[in-house]
Amino acid sequence: MAINGNLYDWESVTIQLPSGTAIGVTEISYSDERPLESRYGKGAKPRGYGRKNYKASGSLKLDRDEYEWLRTALGGSVYAGDPFAIVVSYANDDQDTVTDVLPDCKISKNDTSAKSDDDNAGAVSLDFTIFSPIRWNGEPAY
């Protein structure tokens, strides 16, 4: 890695959707969690912990044309079809490529708007649930 070199930026991000390499995505966010719960017995201090279920989810913001390509690739409805993978790669000349795989995604919310003087009328925000552990740069989260 070069000191004072080009670090990852939005230009470094490539997103693969069922419709192909996305060029009209303006935002992606994804996260996972495995909550822990303190377990108590006698006294006020935890004596251990219990593990709750793994959960993963994310969101995308797409230009309207990119949304239409995705909708078509999913069979005409963003809610239709089988779960699909989203692959997010971070790459540039100064750093190693990092690739996160979001397997088994299903869209759970579809939101759009348009307003006067909007330079991106009809942009669509999608929320999705990830039903299998995220592979953070090849390593399963769980």
Helix (H) / strand (E) element for 108: namely: strand 95-112
pLDDT at 119: 76
What percent of the chain clears pLDDT 70, i.e. is strictly above it?
96
Residue 4: pLDDT band with limits 50, 70, 90: low
pLDDT digit string, tens, across residues 75-118: 999 998 899 999 999 998 878 899 999 999 999 999 998 878 77
pLDDT at 42: 93
The closest of 121, 100, 115, 73 to 14, measured between CA atoms, is: 100
pTM confidence score: 0.89
Higher pLDDT, 3 or 20: 20
pLDDT at 92: 85
Average the pLDDT over 40-52 and give the result: 94
pLDDT at 33 over 80: yes
Tell which phi-psi region holds residue 44, choosing left (phi > 0), alpha (psi between -120 and 50) or beta: alpha
- Calculate Rg over the CA atoms of the chain: 19
Tell which phi-psi region holds residue 75, choosing left (phi > 0), alpha (psi between -120 and 50) or beta: left
Q: Which residues pair with residue 32 across a beta bridge? A: 56
